[in-house]
Structure 1
Amino acid sequence: MDGSAEIPVAPERRAGEILEWAGALVTPSLRTAVERLPDRIRHLAGCHFGWRDMDGTPQAGPQGKGLRPALALLSCQAVGGEPSAALPAAVAVELVHNASLLHDDIIDGDHMRRGRPALWASFGVPAGILAGDALFFLAVQVLLEAPPPLGGAGVGQLTGAVQELIDGEYTDTVLEDRPTVLVAECEAMASAKTGALFAAACGLGALAAGAAADRRDHLRAFGTHLGMAFQLVDDVLGIWGDGQYTGKPARSDLAARKKTLPVTAALATDGAPGRELAHLYCRDTPLSPAEVERAARLVDEAGGRSWALTEAQRHTTRALGHLTAVRPVPQGAADLAALAQVITCRDR
């Protein structure tokens, strides 16, 4: 769906207020779910979420933005449901997201998450793997215990999204070792790795409201395109963002020579910057700090940054087109549009 959206982009509530509202609704249920884990795994999960330090002392550390649970609540509202009906879905997708982060940090060797040490860096790789496993299964358990249709069809939708996410994550590791990667391959990987869970959040929210199949499909498509926009901007921030904002060391993906979307687009060009970047990426020896900085400039000069931001805006426009097709209630539509816009504008 390529039509321009008719959804207002100046909603009554700012995006920050929307996320704060969603967090206030979801966090108590999220913590209640995590409290069901065995003691030691519960401690690990609490450290990851920033609720406690390594010694168990309660903390109020920085947490994630909570975009995915907010999308579940607002998608329910957008088709006329009460947001609270989607609460099990919101908790489940946030558990899945955090499980994937625990594993992703290990795969990438990232030592920082949300401005504090990654769980595996503090407690070891087995702790990170097992805590992630526990959150994956807890997400399924939360949804299984929800009333139908979430406790029925919703479980299949969630587990299908998890399988797609895992496939995307694995493809990401495979592409790292490939000398040449097509932009289309990288886009498909990002759609699976990120778009699948965004789509599931929106689809599950609509399912909780009892929406018709066509409205659920449009909300899932909204989530898919929004997830792509998110990943594109996230990859830009990974190169040019402020580490205090992202919570991770700047340019760590470049140092690891990961083929993110801006990098892949830059490598696909035939000019001098793209060729020099390809030479740096094919080297067997680690990149020096100066070479990492040079790589960032080359991605920009080759057009990778501008391409990624243009694509992010294009996906956002397509997402809003699908949102219009849902025939949503005004407040839910305005709030979803606000989240869509803030995702694209995170680099500003």
Structure 2
Amino acid sequence: MTDILYRSLDVLPHLAVPALLERGRTLCTPRLREAIGRLATPMDTIAAYHFGWTDRDGQPAVGDGGKAVRPALAVLSAQAVGASLETGAIGGAAIELVHNFSLLHDDFMDGDETRRDRPTAWTVFGPAQAVLVGDALCALATEVLLEAPDHSAVRTVDTARAVRRITVATRRMIDGQAQDLSFEHHDRVTIEECLEMEGNKTGGLLACASSIGAVLAGADDAVVEALERFGHHLGLAFQAVDDLLGIWGDPQVTGKPHWGDLRQRKKSLPVSAALAEGGRASRRLTKLLADPEGRGYEDEQQLAERAALIEEAGGRAWTHEEACRQHKTALAALDEVPMPDMVREHFAALAAYIVRREK
């Protein structure tokens, strides 16, 4: 079945996205399971639940652990420079551990009670346990990379390069989360501030995912930096779409609450763009967001009014256009990297998927 899946990527590039995502998941999951199996009880059980592999009692469950965009990009980045799928999978597993570390922490900090159509780990096992498991996943990411020379042709010097890049990406992601939390207490956040925050929070890790396979394969800095730029701008496009879904996404599709970002008073791109517009709807929105009364207690009607004001002030349209701009910039970065045409098409297919997704 796996061989058929991989061959389909060469024969049907226009239908490749599901196969690309499944390939990344299939290659990385054994490494993730092996790494998580090292954790002390109950952390191993909580991590398995978070990834969707088991239910809350530790019994096997049907779950895919998320979209697997980052593992897919990591594998492609190795292919781009002629390296093996396995080399990319090492980087993909490390990236996925860091990403899920951030999800465990973010769910608790944001008060999110559902993820992937199930209760979040902190609501099932408690905040303290969820935070500890997140910390453990972050540590495991470095372990996975440092073990690479023992299991592949990856050189020690390239492992060190990969560890440094994933560490910087993790620090940037944490910076972005801190900025995001602080913005909730600001009446206004500029578009530039929002883009900087999102570049840190989302762009940094996607940049690392899009290049880490090439780093482990020993690619030169020019190639790695071009792939990082692709991932950075793709991350901004990804986050712009996420911001749209955070306000107007269908809860039945996204698995997240209706008006979720508005409930949390997030200063996402649609909000920042609407506040910057300056017209009637923008001024009304500014007044509502500055009103300290009822913070965190808005009802459905009030949230619907805010969403309508954001749309009237152009925040929704501007954010959609920004996603398209960032998508175009990401694809331009790929032009600097010599790679097989099929790999380029697969990068482009994943990029298109990110800007068109509904969850």
Question: Shorter-normalised TM-score: what interval?
Answer: over 0.9
Q: Which moved more, 1:272-281 or 1:186-195?
A: 272-281
Q: Does 1:245 align with 2:253?
A: yes
Q: Does 1:319 align with 2:330?
A: yes
Q: Contact 2:14–2:349 (CA<8 Å) still a contact in 1? A: no
Q: Does 1:229 align with 2:209?
A: no
Q: Determine the structure 2 residue equivalent to 1:296.
A: 307
The aligned amino acid for 2:348 is A
Counterpart selection for 1:116 from 118, 122, 127 = 118
Q: CA deviation at 1:62?
A: 4.8
Q: Which runs of 5+ in 1 are unaligned?
A: 1-9
Q: How does 1:98-247 map to 2 (within 5 A)?
A: 98-147=100-149, 148=155, 149-247=157-255
The separation in 2 between residues aligned to 1:12 and 1:270, in whole angstroms, is 42
Question: Identity, % of aligned pairs?
Answer: 45
Q: CA deviation at 1:252?
A: 1.3
Higher relative contact order structure (alpha carbons within 8 Å, sequence separation ≥ 6): 1
The aligned amino acid for 1:275 is R
* Secondary structure of the corresponding residue to residue 13 of structure 2: coil
RMSD (Å) for aligned C-alpha atoms: 1.4
Give the 3 Å change call, closer, same or farther, for CA 51–236 of structure 1 in structure 2: same
The separation in 1 between residues aligned to 2:341 and 2:171, in whole angstroms, is 34
Give the 3 Å change call, closer, same or farther, for CA 321–276 of structure 1 in structure 2: same
Q: Could you report, residue by residue, the CA deviation over 1:195-216 in whole angstroms, capped at 9, with x for unpaired residues?
A: 0000111221111222221111
The separation in 2 between residues aligned to 1:333 and 1:252, in whole angstroms, is 35
Q: CA deviation at 1:150?
A: 4.3
The separation in 2 between residues aligned to 1:313 and 1:326, in whole angstroms, is 21
Q: Could you report, residue by residue, the CA deviation over 1:77-125 in whole angstroms, capped at 9, with x for unpaired residues?
A: 1122112112211000000000000000111111111111111111111
Q: Which moved more, 1:31-40 or 1:154-163?
A: 31-40
Q: Contact 1:78–1:330 (CA<8 Å) still a contact in 2? A: no
Q: Could you report, residue by residue, the CA deviation over 1:172-231 in whole angstroms, capped at 9, with x for unpaired residues?
A: 111111122111001000000000000111221111222221111100000000000000
- What is the TM-score of this pair, normalised by structure 2? 0.91
Q: Contact 1:150–1:204 (CA<8 Å) still a contact in 2? A: no
Q: Determine the structure 2 residue equivalent to 1:6.
A: none
Q: Contact 2:158–2:217 (CA<8 Å) still a contact in 1? A: no
The aligned amino acid for 2:245 is L
Q: CA deviation at 1:347?
A: 4.2
Q: How does 1:71-86 map to 2 (within 5 A)?
A: 71-86=73-88
Q: Contact 2:270–2:316 (CA<8 Å) still a contact in 1? A: yes
**When the two structures are aligned, how many residues end up with a matched partner?**
339
Q: CA deviation at 1:12?
A: 4.4
* Secondary structure of the corresponding residue to residue 39 of structure 1: coil
Q: How does 1:88-103 map to 2 (within 5 A)?
A: 88-103=90-105
Q: Which runs of 5+ in 2 are unaligned?
A: 1-11, 150-154
Q: Could you report, residue by residue, the CA deviation over 1:296-320 in whole angstroms, capped at 9, with x for unpaired residues?
A: 1111111111111111111111110
Q: Determine the structure 1 residue equivalent to 2:5.
A: none
Q: Determine the structure 1 residue equivalent to 2:32.
A: 30
The separation in 2 between residues aligned to 1:347 and 1:270, in whole angstroms, is 30
Counterpart selection for 1:43 from 34, 42, 45 = 45
The separation in 2 between residues aligned to 1:248 and 1:12, in whole angstroms, is 30
Q: CA deviation at 1:278?
A: 1.6
